[in-house]
Each structure stands twice: as C-alpha cells, then as structure tokens.
Amino acid sequence: MDCVEFDALEEQARAKLSAPAFAFLATGADDEITALENATAWRRLRLRPHVLRDIGKVDTRVSLLGATVATPIVVAPMGRHKLFHTEGERASARGAAAAGALYTLATSANVPLEDAAAECGAAPQWFQLYMWPNRAEIETLLDRVAAAKFRALVLTVDNQVYGSSPRQMRAQYVPSPDIRNVNMPGAPMARTAYDPEYKGKVMFPTTWRELEWLVKRAPMDVVVKGVLRGDDAARCVDLGAKAIIVSNHGGRHLDTSVPTAEALGDVVDSVRGKAEVYVDGGIRRGTDILKALALGARAVFVGRPVLWALATGGADGVRAVLEHLHDELIRAMQLCGIASLSAAKPDLVAHARQFDSNLA
C-alpha cells in the first residue's frame, strides 16, 4: 500500500458500505468542525529535522504499561465492527496482531471479548470500558476481561451524553437483531450513538467517584480516555490512572472542542512523567505520528482508517493500513535524523504560523 492507495480507502469504504453504516463511521458532531480540525492540526505543525545522524538502524519498539510492542501505533477502541465486516472485531484484532500493533476492544463490540482476545494470540490487548449504574454487572465484566488476559482497562469519560450528528440523522441506522453488543448486559442490538431515543440521556454516568472505585476494583491498570485539559489529567493520575489518552472522541460528540494536537502539550506538562500519555484524533500520516511522539505522546491511537481497511479488506486490510503507517513513521524518523522513539523531542516540531504569517 502507498499513500495514494491509503488516501483512496475512505471512498472505497463509502462505496462498499450502506449509507447508514458509512455515516456512522465517518461522521462528526454538528458542523463536524472538530472532526476536520483534528487532522488539519497535525498538518499545521512542521518538522525541524536533524542532519548527519546515524539512521542506518531505526528502532520503533515502545513499552506501553510494561508490555513491549513493535510499534507505537495502537488500534483505538471502536464499537460495532459488524457494521463494516461480517467477522467484526475478530478480523480487526487479527489484523492488528499481524501488524504487531496493540489492539483495544470496545465495550460495544459485536463479538464475545474472549473471541477477539483469541485472535490477538500473544500480542498485548486492552479493553475499553463504559460505566453504567449497576456495579455488579461491571464487576462481572471486569472479571471476564481479566480472565481473557487483557492487560489494561481504558475508561472512556468524554461522552456521558451523546452528541448530535445531522449526517447520521439523514441516513438513520435501523438496528439489526443480528448485530448486537454482546458483551453488555442483555446483549442489546447495536444501535448507533446518534439514535434519536438517546437524545439528552446520560448514557454512561461517570464521575471522579467512579474512577476512584474502578482503579481500586480493576485487576489491571486503568487508562483514562477523553481528556483535553492538563488539570483533569493530573487529577486522573492522582486517583491512580496509569495513563491518559488525549482524545475528543474523533470530534463525534462535542463539536468545536480543541484539536488533540493542540491539547497534547498541556496534558504532558501537567502529568509530569507520572503516567504515560497517548493521543488520538486525525492521525493520517507517519509524520503525524512522529510529531505526536515528539510532543510527548508515548503512542498514538488510530481509528477511522482501521475501519476503512476493515470494510474493504478485512483482517488483511487492517494489517496493510497499520503496516503502511508504520513504514511512513520509519521513513519520517530517518529523514529527521531520529533512530529511536526516545530521540524525538519537542524541539523537532514547530508551528506553521512561525513560517507563514498568512495562516490563521
């Protein structure tokens, strides 16, 4: 796969999927400003390469909560994969493992978590959690997650109330009895986040109390996903979170929220090395990944491109996209004189407005 093929994937997915399924994959909230700006924010950053360095051997290995993986590219938690491929999360997990990438399974997966875990083999895997009021049900799920050898728990905290998507409303998804969120109590049909019946409802009641309880109860490390402020990140760490994912949910709920590229530095500074920091949102190039790592992220999470690949090529498509991004990362590192991820420092990055006063 080359960059032209990668750029064509979204349109290939559009052609293959039903209009409601593609709308759910692609949409952002309201005017979709944040969904667009996530990607453009990385492009506004510029690289300041080093020269005359030995880049004959590049090492992209990274330790994520104690597990060494071959690449700092992680598959973000996304639900309802059977909307995009008949094998659902089994295919996406298998593709990630083939690429040597860490895989994160969502609470709203359409296959049993044990089946997705089996596809990962020895590769590390994390589980994303939404909270709901019945803690006994959550505890049962946590015990299943631990038994299946998931190594970390990713608590999503930025969508207690779902956003609104005009694009999805114009192509409303009708739930199918064959596609269910099988790991949730009662295995409900997989309705999308933009179902009219959800309007204004608090779907996943989560406060600092729930985080404090989860850190004490979970038999694995807790990662908090959906943080855009340094003060919130610091408090998460004080309560026991081992890592923070700087994320605005791909711009899918609160439109005009700050792009993740612009929020990353504040979170890194506030955490002060007490926890690992990751970032998602608009990662489309190996240069985006290198910029994120230079600004303090230990890894990046990739979302929509994985689903484009799943829809068009199943597990092999997922592997190809992840390998393509990894190849781009290696080339960007070499061209910037960076032989290891630890050598990527903040002074590698400058904002484009430093070079073009006409940029807003």
How confident is residue 149, by pLDDT bands cut at 50, 70 and 90? very high
- Segment 333-349, tens digit of pLDDT: 999 999 999 999 999 99
The whole-number pLDDT of residue 359 equals 43
From 85, 249, 253, 326, the catalytic residue: 249
Please give the Cα distance from 109 to 314 (Å, whole number).
16
Residues in contact with 232: Cβ distance below 8 Å, sequence separation at least 6, in sequence order: none
How confident is residue 353, by pLDDT bands cut at 50, 70 and 90? low
User: 3-345 maps to which CATH number?
Assistant: 3.20.20.70
Structure tokens at 243: 């890592």
Q: Is the pTM of this model over 0.85?
A: yes
Radius of gyration for the alpha carbons in the chain, expressed in angstroms and rounded: 19
Q: Which amino acid is at 115?
A: D
Domain edges within the chain: 3-345
Q: Which helix (H) or strand (E) holds 75?
A: strand 73-75
Residues in contact with 307: Cβ distance below 8 Å, sequence separation at least 6, in sequence order: 13, 25, 78, 81, 84
User: Does residue 249 have an active-site annotation?
Assistant: yes
- Segment 191-249, tens digit of pLDDT: 888 888 788 888 888 999 999 999 999 999 999 999 999 999 999 999 999 999 999 99
CA 225 to chain centre: 9
Please give the Cα distance from 289 to 279 (Å, whole number).
9
The whole-number pLDDT of residue 351 equals 86
How confident is residue 174, by pLDDT bands cut at 50, 70 and 90? confident
For the chain, percent of residues with pLDDT exceeding 70? 98
Question: What are the residues facing 74 on neighbouring strands?
Answer: 301
The whole-number pLDDT of residue 198 equals 80
